[in-house]
Structure formats: structure tokens, C-alpha cells
Amino acid sequence: MGFSSELCSPQGHGAVQQMQEAELRLLEGMRKWMAQRVKSDREYAGLLHHMSLQDSGGRGMSPNSPISQSWAELTSQTEGLSRLLRQHAEDLNSGPLSKLGLLIRERQQLRKTYSEQWQQLQQELTKTHSQDIEKLKSQYRALARDSAQARRKYQEASKDKDRDKAKDKYVRSLWKLFAHHNRYVLGVRAAQLHHQHHHQLMLPGLLQSLQDLHQDMACVLKEILQEYLEISSLVQDEVVAIHLEMTAAVARIQPETEYQGFLRQYGSAPDIPPCVTFDESLLEEGEPLEPGELQLNELTVESVQHTLTSVTDELAVATETVLSRQEAVTQLQRDLRNEEQNTHPRERVQLLAKKQVLREALQGLQVALCSQAKLQAQQELLQAKLEQLGPGEPPPVLLLQDDRHSTSSSEQEREGGRTPTLEILKSHISGIFRPKFSASSTGS
């Protein structure tokens, strides 16, 4: 039972924020209380010092008088007690009180970065899983309607001139539809991978690292309070009894189980929304395409090759980012282990900032891995489709086969050997992508 499995829902996020606010208020109360104790000890030490300088009725008595000697010893010990209490006050101020102030600043920074990272994860999930997909679906519907309308006009055209013009528009609408279909398939795959990484890795990782840091801070707070008790403890029986009770209370702090009660009250099963799938209703008004499958034919082969090149380049950059961030995480972990071995437990508060940096680096690595996985999945879809084609020619568009067969050789001769509309469009498509491939081959 932990943050990563019990607090993944929006309600869990709200509970975490409330818990962080409550703990910060508690720490601020401790700081004010401890500062008041330092002030009180200083004032008390000053009063004892002032009392030790006064005669208090001992003047004029014989130095050999047992009462005078006892009183002199009493006033001398009072001055010693004054110095001891003054030193305790300064030790409290430079030790536990200073560390408590640093702990509060680290907790405030942790609250801020956790809230920002949680919001960023949610925004990226919403954009990839909802907004981008809805935009692609809307464009898909529009292109499907345009294609259906162009097909009807093409089928209804009677004159050769009108039929050729309608055919040209129909072929162009098909090319646009097929290309957008591929973009939608890739977008759905990316959204699925982002959904998986968000709910299985990135969000649980964020919450797990948050719990680890909270437990580290609870351990630091326990050590601060123990140091406070050791400095402020006195030897009188009455005070010793009180301090034993306080010591036992501090000893009961267990960072590993600190948040179990909180989890029992607010924990719940992860509320994972359904993952996006290919919306087959988009195919109702369009062409008979395979849902979730890339279209590779004479109209799309060059755009698929271009997309594969682009995705491969992006994947190389994403892989470099992953390697760089992994190396940074490894170095941070190594440095932190070395410092933990050489740092006294009472000084662990000095390591919290570096643990926070490590937590943020781990979260950044998860984000980079998610991007890499999305691009890898898209590359595999594109690569597999092109490998299925092999060295042969891309398949023709089946919907245009009947029209090809109906075009007689006599019509071609009558039109003076005019290049078919489909060939013109393929040449136009090649011209669109040729500059990028030429630039790539030159650069390599």
C-alpha cells in the first residue's frame, strides 16, 4: 500500500495537497514554538546571571560561615547554570531550529514541484489522448465527407470532360483521406502508449518518489526533534519524567508507516479512464478502409516512406534524450549514495535538495521514455508496413481499378496520349516529398 497504488485518482491528488498544506502548517507551528523556546531560555539565562551578581543578603557574613559558603556555592552554581542554559539556547538556534527552517523550505519546494508536475502530466495526457485525437477525428470526418461527395460526382458525371475533372477531384480527395487515415492511426497508437505510460509509469512514479521524499523528511524531522530534546533536556527528576514522555513520543515516529492512516482514509483504486481506440464510425461515410491499419498503396507509399524517415529521425533524438537523462540519473544516484555514506544522520536535511533533484530527474526520464516508446511504436507500424510491400510496386487503389479498365485505348489515342489523372497526382505527390529525401541523402 503506497501513494503510487492508492492515490492515482484526482481525489487522491486533492488529498495529497491537503495533507501537504496541513503538514506545512504543523512544521510552521513547530518552528514558532521552538523559536519561542530559544527566546525563553535566553531570557531565563539572563535572569539567572543577573541574580548571581546580586548580594542577596550574604554581605557582611564571615567567609568561614557554613551558610555563607553554601550560599556562595549556590550563587556560583547558578552562574554555571546560566552559562549552560545560554549555551543550550544558542545550540537550539543553530541546530534544530535552523534545520527545521531548512526542512520547511524544502517541503514548500516539494509541494510546488509536485503540483506543477502533476498538472503537466495531466495536461500532456489530455492533449495527446483527447484533444489531438478529437482534432484528428474531426478532420477525418470532414475528409470522409469530401471523398464521398467527390465519389458521387465522379459516378454521376456523364461527359468525358466532366468525368475527368470529377475523377481528378476524387483521386485527390482519396489521397488526402488515406494520408489523414494514416496520421489518425499513428495518433491513436501514440495516445495508447501515452495512456499506458501515464497510468502505469509516470503518474505512479511521481507519487512513489513523492512518498519517498515525504518519508525522508519525516525521518529528518524525527532526528531534529531528537536533537532538540537532547539539547533542552535537564536533569531534575520532574523535568526528566516529562522529557521521557516526550522522548517516547518522538521515538514512536516511524517514517515507513507515517502515512498509513492517511492512505486508509483517502486511498482508493486507481481511476483509469478507458484507453482510446480507433473510431470505426469514421469509416461509415468514407472508403472501405481497415480500422487501425496503415494504408499503403500507390497514393500513399511515398508519404509513408517520408513519415518513416521523419519518425526515425525523431526517434534518434528521443533515444539520445533518454540516454542523456539516464546517465544524469545514474550520476545523481551515485553522488547521493556517496554523500549518504559520508553524512551524519543528524545532517541528512542537507541531502533533501539533492534528493528532490534526483526525483525530478527520474520523472524527466519517464517522460523521455514515454516519448521514445510512442515514436518506437509508430516506427514499427510504418516499418512493418513497408517490409510487407518489399521491393515490389505498391498495390493500386482498388476503388479506381474499374475506372482504369473502362478507359479504352481508343480514348487514349483520341486524347493524344494524355497522362492519366492518377499518374499526374502520383507525380505531384513525388514532387512534394522529393526535396526532403534529397536533402537527407546529401546530408548523410
Candidates 228, 210, 143; CA nearest to 358 is: 210
Dig out the grid coordinates for 225 from the structure.
Answer: 526533534
Band (pLDDT 50/70/90 cuts) for residue 425 is low
Confirm whether pTM is higher than 0.85. Answer: no
Q: Which of 93, 94, 88 is nearest to 239 (CA)?
A: 88
Domain tally, the chain: 1
> What would the mean pLDDT of 311-339 be, rounded to a whole number?
96
Domain that holds residue 204: 3-53+68-390+418-443
Rounded CA separation 410/423 (Å) = 19
What does the pLDDT average to over 340-369?
A: 92
CATH classification at residue 304? 1.20.1270.60
pLDDT tens readout for residues 35-63: 999 999 999 999 988 887 875 555 555 55
> Domain for residue 61, yes or no?
no
Q: Are 185 and 282 in contact (CB under 8 A)?
A: no
User: For residue 22, which amino acid is it?
Assistant: A
The residue that leads in pLDDT, 239 or 1, is 1
- Is 243 a member of any domain? yes
- Read off the pLDDT of each residue in 349-365 and give the average, rounded to a whole number: 93
With pLDDT > 70 as the criterion, what percentage of the chain qualifies?
A: 85
Residue 74 lies in a domain: yes
In the prediction, which pLDDT does 260 show? 83
Give the largest Cα separation in the chain, rounded: 146
Extended strands (E) in 334-420 = none
What was the pLDDT predicted at 59? 57
Q: What is the pLDDT of residues 162-207, one digit of tens each?
A: 788 888 999 999 999 999 999 999 999 999 999 999 999 999 999 9
- Long-range CB contact pairs, 28-34, < 8 A, 24+: 28/104, 30/100, 31/97, 31/100, 31/101, 31/104, 34/92, 34/96, 34/97, 34/100, 34/228
Residue 67's pLDDT is 66
* Residue 62 counted as domain residue: no
% of the chain surpassing 90 pLDDT:
55
In a domain, 407, yes or no: no
Decide if 146 is inside a domain. yes
328 falls within a domain: yes
What does the alpha-carbon distance between residue 74 and residue 65 come to, in Å, rounded to a whole number? 14
Decide if 152 is inside a domain.
yes
Lowest-confidence segment of 243-257, 331-345, 365-379 by average pLDDT: 243-257
Buried b / exposed e over 72-106, threshold 16 CB at 10 Å, is eeebeeeeebbeebbebbebbbebbbebbbebbeb
- Residue partners of 130: CB distance under 8 A and separation at least 6: none
pLDDT at 416: 47
Q: From CA 185, how far away is CA 136, in angstroms rounded?
A: 10
**pLDDT one-digit tens code per residue, 72-85:** 777 887 788 888 88
Q: At what angle do helices 237-251 and 203-232 cross, to 10 degrees?
A: 170
pLDDT tens readout for residues 231-283 = 888 776 666 777 788 788 788 878 888 788 888 888 888 888 899 988 888 88
* Residue 436: HSE in the Cβ half-sphere, 13 Å Cα cutoff: 13
End-to-end CA distance of the chain: 52
Q: Give the Cα-Cα-Cα angle 222, 227, 233 (nearest 5 degrees).
A: 120
Asked if pLDDT for residue 3 goes beyond 60, the answer is yes
